[in-house]
Structure 1
Amino acid sequence: MTRARSATTVVVGAGHSGLATSRHLTAQGIDHVVLERGQVAHSWATQRWDSLRLLTPNWMTRLPGADYAGPDPDGFMEAAEVAALLVRYATESRAPVQPETVVRRVARSGDGFTVETDRGPWSARSVVLASGSVRGVAPALADALPDGVVSLHAIDYRNPSQLPGGGALVVGAAASGVQIAAELAASGREVTLAVGEHVRAPRRYRGRDLFSWIDEAGILDERWDEVDDITRVRRLPSFQLAGGTADLDLNALQALGVRLVGRLAAIRDGEALFSGSLANVAALADLKLNRLLASIDAAAGLEAGGERPEPTRVPAPLLSLRLDSGEIRSVVWATGIKPDHGYVDLDVFDAKGALRHDGGVTPAPGLYVTGLPALRRRRSTYIDGARADADELTKHLAAAL
């Protein structure tokens, strides 16, 4: 039997959250190891489509001890650039990364943990789950697609060449859905976008990038224990934005020739059935957009009434579409992702299988999680949030030790 190696803390995952945690553990003088299933920034290098750019401008790509210092602070990094940045950061931080190490199980052992990997076990007093492992979430009705229709989740999408020619149905209108729909339309395909709840936002407002305003207004620093319904905040779709482009809302997509339909409600006998709520959903998104811009005006002390995007144009409702007629050759499910913590063998999951935590502190003493949307503040959803999250969680961890 292989003897377990030991560290005070094991960090699972060497993405931006795991590396930020490692940097703060080093500052706290806590010996640790970072276990990574592939290489540093594995998810950034393997689970993003080719044309992806960050939603946030470069100046927000900040990690502990490393602000953005490049020549284009207002630009938007490609996924490959993010991966390269993280590799440099890991090297400069001298992060104790063990690459090509797959964590198979985390379990309680005495007053600490055993972390089983494909390269032998580790024992630790504390564990931080910072893995970028995610799985695409497709609705159960995906199983009802007719034979011959290609089905692909957004997490597996790379570029239009993966899909056959002909019409494509994109399901979901958050950032991934609108970007993929626009790219498929630009490739010459007839694209239909099934739209559910979404968060509309302008790329620029009053001459500045939206994130410049919401950062200055303090909106991103609202804490998880200050919001009325943190569960809902964590489930909100991402902004309908694309890095480096103009607005990519439903009006812009229609200008590109994308056909809008309501939320995909069912697939029966080869026919897709859509909700008739598109107009109401779009009106609600417009209302929230205007509230956001009004809150920016108020926080910045600006005169109310800055420019507002025109209301969403909603087409006549299309309530059904044959999927077995040859018009639709492929479906892309931009219906969200979920973290994969299936290797954790502890009683820390709720009835729906989600990891229970309070700002990253789980019910199992010594077990922490980071890298999740709105973990400790709204900023946590972005790379920029890893600095403060890692600082606070490692201080909690150190105090517990």
Structure 2
Amino acid sequence: MPLTDTVIIGAGHAGLAMSHCLAERGLDHVVLERGSVGERWRTARWDSFRLLTPNWLTRLPGWVYAGPEPDGFMTAGEFADHLSGYAASFDAPIRPYTPVARVERTPAGFRVYTHRGDWVARTVVIATGYHSRAAVPGLAARLAPGTAQLTPAHYRSPSSLPDGGVLVVGASASGVQIAHELALAGRRVVLAVGGHTRLPRRYRGQDILWWLDRAGALDRDIDDVPNPAAARAEPSLQLAGTSDARGIDLGVLRMAGVELAGRLRALDGVVAGFADDLDDSVGAAQHRLTRVLGEIDRYAAATPGTAAGPPDRPPPIAVPAAPSRVDLRREGIATVVWATGFRPSYPWLALPALDHGGQIRHRRGLTAVPGLYAIGLRFQSRRNSTFIDGARHDAAYLADRIATRRALRSAG
């Protein structure tokens, strides 16, 4: 049975960043991946998908974007190839097509069971990401047979759906992009709007993430946040990988013909019921936009030499009259797309490391189980911990902890 110091589970950007940092410190390890490098980017993204972050922000340990379009946005396939190139650059010890079936404690550390043999390791790093499982609400079970339903991981293009209209549930990045694409393809689209964080794609002459990166907003430390649980639960960014300055917001969707509704609160066969909260959701998103852009304005004013354009804020969203219920069959809606977010999932983890909600209990990626670590969790240590760019900080921190633990074990 193979023995290694550390097993990393997952060869996405976080797992590869972890591998690079361990290699820099001369620590023996192996990376187990259920498919190929960047598997989820290859198989769980729609055809027109592009990263939400500009290419220059795809910074990983020892690896930066060096292509001709630093301000562009990679497709999912391009980013998967980018990760493959990264792995090859330092000869990452990856075992592809090796799904993990179980991880359990042993007197010497851990035993990791796979379908291609087992591994014994003193340390395990979970790098399977925050987006393992679609968070489809329980009321989806109340949808009548005959109406197709799927998540963004299984959506590919308008032509891949049955004929007819589409109800898209969720107004963060995936929901608005899919709704917009469907509307431009001539589909009737109803969008059930929940919590979201509205931001323009560009502001004052720069990409919005350029400002957040320069102003330090993405580096905000979890210890500086008054309420970490609330910070981790903040609505996701309503962004799209596009050069259009405004991006895709609810106003853009209305102009494309998308009908806006409040949060989906009930399903009874073919009848969808919506909450009377569209105005509240839009108002909360506008408040977040005003706060963030105000912080950028103050940073620009206080930073000499910043090439800041005029404060060209996008107009407020005009809230339309929203339906309280829609008969899907009568209105010709044949498909429901559940763009309701994702959750991590660890069915193979036979260790007391999860809370009652199935989330890993941790402090900056260090769990209560000695030798068990995690990376790629939401606001793990910094605001951008789930961003591609944020993994490099958490990987370096965890690699130092693992190196220290190994040194203490050797000294003892």
Q: Name the amino acid aligned to 1:74.
A: D
* Aligned residue identity for 1:358: R
Length-normalised TM-score, structure 1: 0.96
What CA distance in whole angstroms lies between the structure 1 residues aligned with 2:34 and 2:202?
38
- How do residues 214-233 of structure 1 correspond to structure 2 at under 5 angstroms? 214-233=212-231
2:19 match: 22
* Equivalent residue number for residue 7 of structure 2: 10
Specify the code of the residue in structure 1 equivalent to 2:147.
V
Instruction: Name the aligned partner's letter for residue 12 of structure 2.
Output: G
Shift of 1:106: 0.7
1:69-123 C-alpha deviation (Å, 9 max, x unpaired) = 1111111111111000111111111100011111101111014111011111111
Q: Is the Cα contact below 8 Å between 2:345 and 2:358 reproduced in 1? A: no
Deviations 1:289-342 (A, max 9, x none): 011001111123269982221111111121100123252110000001112211
Determine if the alignment matches structure 1 residue 356 to structure 2 residue 361: yes
Task: Select 1:320's aligned residue among 305, 325, 328.
Answer: 325
1:339 aligned onto 2:336 = no
- Give deviations 1:197-216, integer Å, cap 9, x for gaps: 11100011011100000000
TM-superposed CA distance for 1:233, in Å, is: 2.3
Is the CA contact (8 Å cut-off) linking 1:276 and 1:319 kept in structure 2? yes
Partner SS state of residue 168, structure 2 = strand
**Secondary structure of residue in 2 paired with 1:288:** helix
Cα distance in 1 between the residues matched to 2:90 and 2:235: 33
Q: Which runs of 5+ in 1 are unaligned?
A: none
Cα distance in 2 for partners of 1:245, 1:253 equals 17
Letter aligned with residue 88 of structure 1: G
The amino acid across from 2:216 in the alignment is G
- Correspondence 1:212-291 to 2 at 5 A: 212-246=210-244, 247-291=247-291
Please give the alpha-carbon distance, in whole angstroms, between the structure 1 residues aligned to 2:310 and 2:81: 42
Q: Mapping of 1:14-163 within 5 angstroms?
A: 14-132=11-129, 134-163=132-161
Identity %: 49
Tell me, yes or no, if structure 1 residue 367 matches structure 2 residue 372: yes
Matches of 2:350 and 2:249, distance apart in 1: 42
- Offset from partner CA, 1:101-146 (integer Å, 9 cap, x none): 1110111101411101111111111000112471111111101112
Determine if contact 1:298/1:304 at 8 Å carries over to the other structure: no
Given that 2:204 and 2:310 are in contact with CA atoms closer than 8 Å, whether structure 1 keeps it comes out as no
Alpha-carbon contact 1:294-1:304 (below 8 Å) kept? no
Deviations, residues 137-192 of structure 1 (Å, cap 9, x unaligned):
11111011122110111121111122111110000000000000001111110000
State TM-score, norm by structure 2. 0.94
- In structure 2, the residue corresponding to 1:248 is in which secondary structure? coil
CA change 1:124–1:45 in 2 (3 A) is same
Q: Secondary structure at the match of 1:155?
A: coil
RMSD over aligned CA atoms reads: 1.5
Give the whole-Å Cα distance in 2 for the aligned partners of 1:304 and 1:32: 48
User: Number of paired residues?
Assistant: 398
